[in-house]
């Protein structure tokens, strides 16, 4: 029995150490089964409640605490599991009963020192437990600044996009507003910035997957919907204006769907590695025409007709549409045009282009 207790304790302690290292220390995508289970358990009751709340703003208020709370619960789960693991090791190395073993392990793990057993056989276990508690808590404290720095970096570009695409953002609205204020030549800068943004999000959100669940400060903004809007604007630009410079636009599109694929990998979502450019997409032609009409109303120049541009646009969108729709459904992102269905039906209001108030003549 003692051998079994010792083996069980060692498995628990080593497993939790592995989870801590994968989550907080290793700077690369490395999923931890323990943290994934904790995050699902925390997320489920909030999601069930959000599914019963009418309106996007109400859902956002319910889901906003989920990601920060899961970080705290994960730390508590690690410490409780380590307490149980060390208690099993204490019981295996001595004649301590369950209560005495828990007290001994807790006293050492949290460096309280009130229950020293004065047993030579327990000293090594007590020393390990005494080092473990501060190390885990210290790593978590160091982890939070990195987590929130990545979050703030992500949200800065999302907030800047509000002026360029409204809230929630929409691909045709980006091109419409740039045409309205005669800034189409600066679209290259937008796509270049979002290429870098996609690379940064890909790195940070695969290293710290809990960031995927962190919601924007406002209910009408969402990082995924913003990325989708920029990618749609890039696809529209390529489809309607083949004579324009294309390098930065193609790079932004490529960075965007690579980012979505890497997020899908970390969440275990399957996808087609090489989709057929002529394959079907879920956005229908009528919705496409609505977006084109918004662009035309603001004077966006088009070298092609919608009929000519549609095959090219569809060929680009097939690379990222299904992943964007799936992730938007999973995180219950704010509803927006061209972003797919949500868990519950919600009204989708397209952002209106601001009135042109420049003096005439």
The pLDDT of residue 245 is: 85
The pLDDT of residue 125 is: 81
Q: Quote the tokens at residue 18.
A: 């592995």
3-state secondary structure of 59: helix
What gap in Å lies between CA 46 and CA 52, rounded to an integer? 10
The pLDDT of residue 133 is: 83
The pLDDT of residue 167 is: 85
The pLDDT of residue 105 is: 82
pLDDT tens by residue, 15-74: 998 999 888 888 777 778 889 899 999 999 999 999 998 888 899 999 999 999 999 999
CB atoms within 10 A of CB 354: 12
pLDDT tens by residue, 283-327: 999 999 999 999 999 999 999 999 999 999 999 999 999 999 999
The pLDDT of residue 355 is: 67
CB atoms within 10 A of CB 67: 20
Q: Quote the tokens at residue 219.
A: 């209910």
Which of 295, 134, 158, 255 lies closest to 214 in space, CA to CA? Answer: 158
User: pLDDT under 50 in the chain at which residues?
Assistant: none
Residue pointed to by tokens 């980006």: 174
What gap in Å lies between CA 291 and CA 199, rounded to an integer? 28
Handedness of CA 324, 329, 335, 340 (dihedral sign): positive
pTM (two decimals): 0.88
> Residue ranges per domain, the chain?
2-141, 149-330
> What secondary structure letter does DSSP report for 282?
S
Q: Estimate the share of the chain in helix, then strand, then coil, as percent rounded to the nearest 5.
A: 70, 0, 30
């Amino acid at each position: 029995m003692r051998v079994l207790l010792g083996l069980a304790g060692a498995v628990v302690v080593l497993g939790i150490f592995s989870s801590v290292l994968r989550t907080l220390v290793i700077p690369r995508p490395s999923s931890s089964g323990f943290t994934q289970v904790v995050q699902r358990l925390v997320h489920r009751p909030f999601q069930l409640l959000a599914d019963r709340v009418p309106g996007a703003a109400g859902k956002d208020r319910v889901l906003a605490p989920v990601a920060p709370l899961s970080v705290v619960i994960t730390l508590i789960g690690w410490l409780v599991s380590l307490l149980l693991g060390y208690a099993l090791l204490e019981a295996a190395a001595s004649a301590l009963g369950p209560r005495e073993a828990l007290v001994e392990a807790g006293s050492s793990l949290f460096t309280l020192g009130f229950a020293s057993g004065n047993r030579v056989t327990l000293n090594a276990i007590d020393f390990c437990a005494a080092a473990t508690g501060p190390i885990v808590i210290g790593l978590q404290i160091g982890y939070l600044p990195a987590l929130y720095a990545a979050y703030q970096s992500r949200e800065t570009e999302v907030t800047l996009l509000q002026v360029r695409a409204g809230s929630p953002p929409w691909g045709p609205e980006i091109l419409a507003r740039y045409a309205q204020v005669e800034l189409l030549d600066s679209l290259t800068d937008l796509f270049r910035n979002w290429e870098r943004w996609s690379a940064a999000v890909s790195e940070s959100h695969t290293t710290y997957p809990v960031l995927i669940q962190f919601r924007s400060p406002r209910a009408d903004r969402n990082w995924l919907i913003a990325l989708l809007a920029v990618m749609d604007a890039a696809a529209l630009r390529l489809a309607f204006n083949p004579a324009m410079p294309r390098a930065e636009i193609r790079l932004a599109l490529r960075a965007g769907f690579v980012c979505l694929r890497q997020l899908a990998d970390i969440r275990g979502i399957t996808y087609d590695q090489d989709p057929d450019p002529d394959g079907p997409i879920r956005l229908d032609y009528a919705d496409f025409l609505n977006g084109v009409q918004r662009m035309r109303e603001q004077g966006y120049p088009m070298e092609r007709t919608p009929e000519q541009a549609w095959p090219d646009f569809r060929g680009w969108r097939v690379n990222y549409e299904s992943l964007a729709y799936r992730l938007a459904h999973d995180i219950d992102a704010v509803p927006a045009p061209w972003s797919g269905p949500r868990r519950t039906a919600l009204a989708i209001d397209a952002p209106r282009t601001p009135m042109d108030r420049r003096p005439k003549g």
